[in-house]
Structures are given as C-alpha cells and as structure tokens.
Chains A and B, each alone.
Chain A
Amino acid sequence: MARTHITTVINGDEVDFLTEDSTSLLNALRDEVGLTGAKEGCGTGDCGSCSILLDERVTCSCLVFAPEANGANILTVEGLTDAGELHPLQQCFLEGAALQCGICTPGFLIAAKALLDKNPDPTETEIRYALAGNLCRCTGYDKIVRAVQEAALQMREQ
C-alpha cells in the first residue's frame, strides 16, 4: 500500500514522516515520529489524553487523520520545555502534586497552555470549563485546577 509523505513542524523542528491515509495523527506521532507523550485513552475524542496544539488549537490527535497534518505546526507535551527549562505549568503541576498516575497529564498541560495563551487570568470556573474535555480519574481535578491557577499567577508576574 502506498504511503503518503507528510511534512510538518513538530515542537519547532521540521519533521517528515510516511503514513497510511487511515492512520490517526496520534498513531503517526507515536509510531512513526516516536513521540509517545500524547496518549490514547479512548480513540473517540472523549478523554483529551491525546491533546496537542495543531496550529495553536487544542486538538484531539486521535480524531485527525495523519495526512490532514501536512503543512501544520504541531506542539506536543515534549515541546513544552524550552531548552530543558520547564514551562510554568509543568513546574506548578510538579509542585502542586497535580498528577497521580500521570497518563492524563500531557493532555491537561496542553489544554491548560492553550487556555493561558488566550486568557492569562482565568477564573476557577473558566479553568474548569477549559479542562472539561480532559478526563482525569485519579485526582478529582482539585490539584490540577489549583496548579493552573498558580501557573497563571506566576506567568502574569513574569
């Protein structure tokens, strides 16, 4: 079966890969590019564990066919650190114990970044609604919401 050649920018680097037309962007990222930070929790866009930024929009990468990403700019959790420096969200998740098993964490970090990029001073309710597409079964969300509040505060003060 002929495979399609896709050209993208992923986490700031030009990345080419080959894919079948029916392959999800999530599986292409994980199997072809080797970035396993985005996770498949459901494959139907209901859990948010596979969240990435696709041209700056939060996207469930399990719902996008890999060829649709041709020419796109993609950010995954692996691209959140800047030259080894943690993003304030990553630091606040660590300090605030905002993860238990950690499987949902990459998706939450991406969704929270997208929120703070647009709205640097969200209310608790705005945070809860912005993260409502991401399922976490371990934490009850309390510490995640607090970590996003703390990161927003730190980023505003920077």
Chain B
Amino acid sequence: MALTEENPGYKWVGTRPIRPDGLDKVTGKAQFGADLTLPGMLFGKVVRSPHAHARILSIDTSAAESMLGVKAVITGSDFPDLAANGAHASDIDVANNAIARDKVLYEGHVVAAVAATTRELAEAAAKAVEVSYEILPHVLTVDEAMADNAPLLHENMITKGVDPAPDQPSNVASRIVHERGDLEQGFGEADVVIEREFTTKPVHQGYIEPHAAVADANNDGRANIWCSSQGHFAMRAYTATVLGVSQGTLKVTAAEIGGGFGGKTVIYLEPLAVRLSQRSGRPVKLVMDRDEVFRATGPTSGTRIKVKMGISNGGELTAAEVWMAFEAGAYAGSPVGAAGMTVIAAYDIPHFLVEGYDVVCNKPRVAAYRAPGAPMAAFAVESVLDELARSIDMDPIEVRLANAAVEGTQASYGPKFPRIGFVETLEAIKEHPNYTAELGPNQGRGVAAGFWFNAGMNSSATVHVNENGTATVVTGSPDIGGSRQSMALMAAEELGIPYESIKPVVADTETVGFNDVTGGSRVTLATGAAVVDACRLVIEDLRARAAKTWDVEIDQVEWVDGQAQHVDGSQPPLSLNALAAKSGRTGGPISANASLNARGVGAGFSTQLCDVEVDPETGVTRVVRYLTAQDAGRAISPDYVEGQMQGGVVQGIGWGLNEEYIHDENGAMENPSFLDYRMPVASDLPMIECSIVEVPNPAHPYGVRGVGEVGIVPPMAALANAIKDATGVRLTDLPMTPIKVLEALNEQSD
C-alpha cells in the first residue's frame, strides 16, 4: 500500500501498547511526592494566615521552639529580602508568595513553618506559633478590586500597558489590547448584533495528589529535593531564588506526579522544606492537606467578560468587541494575556477590539490551569456565537465553518496560521451520528469550539544504546499523563527496535540537560523532537560503525528496521544488537544527546457536542451524551490522546456545572474540601466519545500537535448552549448550578 498522510506506514507510532510505568502504578509501587521516607526524617507543618488581608505585627515562635521534639521553626525573616536586594519584581512575588514578609494577602498565605519528629508534634507546634495581625480591608473580586478607592494589595502597583502611565497605584497590574480594522464599520455591516456579559468563578485544578516535598540539606550548602512537580528544573530555579543560593547547590528529583494540570508549575513547599532541613540538620517532609491545597494553591481566575459580536444574515462575522477582567489573586499574573490572544482566534473576523485587565485581589495567587485563560474567554464568545447562529437560523456547525480560521488566516493575535485542523474537527462532529441523534423530552444539544496555541520551549534528551541492543531514553520532562509511552514509541519507530526494548526515564536535574516544565501541551512535541533528534544521531553513529566494519563510505549504509544494510546488499546486515555488542571495538559506547528550543508548535483545535437533559423540577443538568473531536496532528499514543481529550472535557463539565470557590465576607474560603468543592464523579457522567482528527503539524517529525489542553476550552459553552437548546434560557454565570437554572426557568415563565 502506498504511504500517505493517512497511512504513514509506522510500526509503533499510533499503536496502543501498555505504558512503561503502568505496572508500578497498578501495584502500588510507584513513588509519588509523599511516598518517600528518609532515615531520621522530620515532618513539617506550615502555619497559614486566617485573614484575607492583614499586616503581620509580630510572630512569636518561642512556645513552638521550646516543645520537645520540635527541631526547627522558620518565618519570612529566615529568607533573604529580595525587594531590599533589588531583585526582579516577578521573583519578589514568588518569594513573598512562598512565605509572607510584611503582609498576608490571602487566607492561607504562609507565615511560618515548623519541623518536628512526628506529624502530631508538628501540628501541635504549628498551632503554638503566635502571630499578631492588623487586619486590613480586603477585595475579593475584579469588581471590588477595580472600584474607586478600593483597598490596595500592593501600594506600588502602577498599571502597565496604559499610555500615559497612571499616576496613582491601583489593583490593576496591566492592560492588554488587540485590535484590527474599524469596529464601527464592522458593526455597521452586521445584520444582527448581540451583546452579553459573563461571569465565572475561580476553579481549582483539582489534582488528587496534594503538593509534597522532601528536602535533605547538607552542611556544605548543598541540598537534595524530591517533589511532585511538573518541572523539577523550574522548581530548582524558583527554590534557589527564594533561598538566595546558586541553582548549582540544589539537586531536584521529580517524584511520580499525581496530577497537576498547570497547578504544579510553581513552588510552594520546596524552599520551606530546604530551610527547615538546614535549620534542623535532618531531612524534612512537607505535605499539604487538601484544605491547604484549596486555600493556598491554584486556582484559576474568576472573571467578568463582556462580548459584543455582529453577523450578517449570510452568516459572516463582521465585528467583535471583547472586554475582560481576570482575577490574578494576590500577585500580578492572571492568564488574561492568553485569554486575549485566544478569545476570537478560531475565527476570521475583520474588525475587532479585545481589551483585558489583570487584577489583583485577596485570594490565592492563580496558577496555570489547562489552556490558561482560554476556557472562560471561549465560554463567552462561543455562547454569543450560539445566540448569533440562532438569530439568523443557521446551524451552529455551519456558522463556525463559515468563519473558521484556516491555513493562511491572520490570527487575531498576530501571526498567520500554518496548516491547522479546525475545519476538520467541525466536520468530524457534523458527520458523527450523535449530531443527528434523536433528543428526548427536556433534552438539548450544544456545540462549541476551542483554540489553544500549544507551547514548544526547551527540551533535552539522551539516548543510550545498551550492550544488548536495547535503549534507554532519558528526558527531564515529568510524565503527567503517559508521555514516557510517547517517548518510547517515537524512539522505537526511529531506531527500528521493539517498543519493549526501550526504557524511557525521567531523570533528575543533574542527570540530563535542561527541560522546561511539563506544560503548554509541549512534551510530546518538544521533548519528543529532542528524543527523535538524539535517536537520529545514534543512527548516524551506527551507520558510521557499520561502514567502518565493512570498510565502505557511510553513504553506502542505510538504517532499516533496526539494522544497518549495505545499499547494494553486498554485506550481511548488522543489527543494533550486533553493533552494540561490538561497540567497544568500533569507538566505544553508543550514546547521543540532543537539546532544542522547539519551533513550529502546532495550534490545537477542539470542537465538542454535548447533549443534556435539564430537570424542570430541580434544575439539575445531566449530561446524556458527549462527543469531542480534536486535532492531534499525529496521535503518537492514541490511548493517552483520548485520555487527555476525555479528562479535559470532564474538568470542563465540572467547571460548567458544579465547581466554584465560595468565600465568606471575611475572605475565608467556605468550601475547601472535595465534599463541598464537588468535582465530577463517575456516576455524574456518560462515556466521553472521542474523534481524533489528524492534520499533521508540518514542523514536527511525526506531525505532533500538543493535545493536553484545548479539550477544556469548549465544554462550558457547549453545556450552556445545550441548556439553552433544552430550556430556552441562556445562562451567563458559571457554574450553572440547579439553583441558577431554576431561577432562570422561573424568570422565563413569569
């Protein structure tokens, strides 16, 4: 059969073998962050602020320090004052978020930490630390934070991106703008203009494994850290910054990671564990409770978003105006920038203005969460698009097809799209039987689409050929969802040896070259490309060795199916096995490194189709059918591509229907448990049907596009559009709880 894009003739890429780390994970052997125990290890406990905004007047640690079995107590004064040292503003924020110095900015902000010989003692010692606060007025939402005369979190915060710069500080860290064309003209050309306002609440990544770190400091200034993170190189850099030491003094080993979704790309416990270990002279383990995870880590932003869009009767979008304000939590850095870049990027709209604000407030500092910023933005735009399609009586897929970005479309955020697969995901939904399946009473159907850039960034890989012809593939990208399998599949394909002969390893910060975090859906693309490059260097070396053995030029040697072959067949082939066994006589061990900054990331698109049933008595929305179509470029590991698609959808369903941070009037979180912050469980859901679309990314050796994130972008709008279809009411405030649905239904019938 001829080899084509649809039938590339791969032996391993695209297959579904058992993942390399699977056995350890079904037998309980896998070592996650909290599973490590070292001899003489102490247990640590963090002391946190009960106030949303307060000045620290004094911290008395004497009672805690005098307790038998308490070995160390630390506060902010045990760390260098980066502000006084003239450090970069973003580093100062990282340090102040790790442990407060003068003010606490949210309930749960760290003020001290202790280490003791048992968990129970550490907890008692943490309670014995006496902190005296002057409570300050707080702001919890963008509305409160942007109000005139709002209490300020940071007295020196001057809004960036405004010309001329404001002369007064505020809680607005920055403003972003994207614009093109002439709005007035665009709206003038529209036959229908619809404007809606949307609000969303902070939601947590909800990884099941709480943050955990073990540190073992030596008295020569060096320290070892084991932690659950999405990037141990980043943890090394952040921890070194907070401690005021050189990165070279820290060695960080990535434990198996129990979920992250972006929330484990930042530090919390690591510098505290190192300092406690230095002060006590013993290894220290710090593990968060779930309550601490909710109060002090993640979440992603609560938002207010206004969208106005115009469409012609023929279905052509003429203009879009978007205003967005995103909660950043306690320090600048909400994902409003990415939201602004993605919000209308899926469509070719001639006239637009997108304006966004990054707003600090007295909640935990937001962390990345799967396609950060894009889901809230898409909730707004995809809801308005649904209204526009209804207003001109156009099919929701057709309206998207009529305006979809394609190769050559100039994206709203600047560059022209290379080859992309948005149209193909729309067509996959349209052609699926679910699109025309019969709906029952009180049921409705919604469509929504999503876009995410995906990231490239820096990766390194080393490939060692072992003496028996097997290979070890070493990378530094923590495996959060099966990436060791995709590394092994690509290496097997390149080297021409069985998948089972490849051992993929995630190495520590001293054993492999630098890798950026596992984030931005980048690992299979970028770290995968490094693995492919390293394999190709190994193959070149193998060909050279075969040439030497046969006394021919290297161009006379081809690498086919795991063996060196002479182009005219004049020599018996030399297998990888044979070459490995003789490597000592042909130049020594066979091994290669590759490092790269991945360019040409492939943009990701997802279109989703959701059928819901809304109970008119209770307002409960039940998802009865769900279909997701996503462009993976090339699914190296289809099992885990589907896993990413399904996982993203279900997080989105939780975001859309149930999940939210609830704060009391004092700014304390009222629902910091899995009982009260209710994530979807198995009985809430149907099967999540997947349609993997493969429009290869021309910039990757196997056509890979990132797949981890875009799946969470469409679900909230798909649900809202399905609820509208089922009930006739348009919900614009997430989550769409039974109470809100009932209220809307009652208003409709009044």
**A interface residue numbers (CB < 8 A to B):** 20, 22-23, 27, 30-31, 34-44, 46-47, 49, 76-78, 80-81, 86, 90, 93-95, 97, 99-106, 109, 125, 127-129, 131-146
Main secondary structure of the interface of A (DSSP, over half): loop
- Assess the A93–B26 pair: CB atoms within 8 A: yes
Q: Considering the chains assembled together, what is the distance between the CA atoms of A142 and B690 in angstroms?
A: 10
Q: Considering the chains assembled together, what is the distance between the CA atoms of A38 and B34 in angstroms?
A: 11
Of the listed stretches B89-97, B383-391, B677-685, chain A binds B677-685
Q: Considering the chains assembled together, what is the distance between the CA atoms of A143 and B19 in angstroms?
A: 14
- Assess the B26–A109 pair: CB atoms within 8 A: yes
A132 and B681 in contact (CB under 8 A), knowing A100-B480, A138-B643? yes
Q: Who on chain B is nearest to A97 by CB? A: B639
A95 and B25 in contact (CB under 8 A), knowing A42-B290, A140-B649, A142-B687? no
Q: Who on chain B is nearest to A31 by CB? A: B37
- Assess the B674–A128 pair: CB atoms within 8 A: no
Q: Chain A residues near B481 (CB, 8 Å)?
A: 100-101, 138
- Assess the A136–B208 pair: CB atoms within 8 A: yes
Cβ of B444 within 8 Å of any chain A Cβ, yes or no, is: no
Q: Who on chain B is nearest to A76 by CB? A: B28
Cβ of B238 within 8 Å of any chain A Cβ, yes or no, is: no
Q: Chain A residues near B30 (CB, 8 Å)?
A: 102
**How far does the Cβ of B87 sit from chain A's closest Cβ, in whole Å?**
34
Q: Chain B residues near A80 (CB, 8 Å)?
A: 26-27
Known: A90-B27, A137-B679. 4 other contacts (CB 8 A): A27-B119, A35-B28, A36-B34, A135-B208
- Assess the A102–B25 pair: CB atoms within 8 A: yes
Q: Who on chain B is nearest to A99 by CB? A: B25
Q: Considering the chains assembled together, what is the distance between the CA atoms of A80 and B130 in angstroms?
A: 47
Q: Considering the chains assembled together, what is the distance between the CA atoms of A46 and B671 in angstroms?
A: 13
A100 and B682 in contact (CB under 8 A), knowing A47-B674, A90-B26? no
Q: In this complex, which of A31, A36, A129, A131 has the most chain B Cβ atoms within 10 angstroms of its Cβ?
A: A36
A–B complex contacts, Cβ < 8 Å, 20 sampled? A31-B37, A36-B34, A41-B210, A42-B290, A42-B673, A47-B208, A49-B208, A94-B23, A97-B16, A97-B482, A100-B481, A101-B209, A101-B256, A102-B26, A103-B258, A105-B25, A105-B26, A135-B208, A138-B481, A139-B650
**How far does the Cβ of B123 sit from chain A's closest Cβ, in whole Å?**
10
- Assess the A129–B683 pair: CB atoms within 8 A: yes
Q: Chain B residues near A104 (CB, 8 Å)?
A: 208, 258
- Assess the B206–A39 pair: CB atoms within 8 A: no
Q: When A and B form their complex, which 8 residue pairs have the shortest distance between CB atoms, in order from nearest?
A: A37-B28, A103-B258, A102-B25, A140-B650, A97-B639, A140-B646, A46-B674, A77-B28
Q: In this complex, which of A38, A42, A81 has the most chain B Cβ atoms within 10 angstroms of its Cβ?
A: A42
Q: Chain B residues near A100 (CB, 8 Å)?
A: 259, 480-482, 640, 643, 647
Q: Chain A residues near B207 (CB, 8 Å)?
A: 101, 103, 137
- Assess the B28–A36 pair: CB atoms within 8 A: yes
A138 and B647 in contact (CB under 8 A), knowing A31-B37, A41-B209? yes
Q: Chain A residues near B684 (CB, 8 Å)?
A: 132
Q: Which residues of chain B from 646 to 683 have a CB within 8 Å of any chain A CB? A: 646-647, 649-651, 673-675, 679-683
- Assess the B120–A22 pair: CB atoms within 8 A: yes
Q: Considering the chains assembled together, what is the distance between the CA atoms of A100 and B30 in angstroms?
A: 13
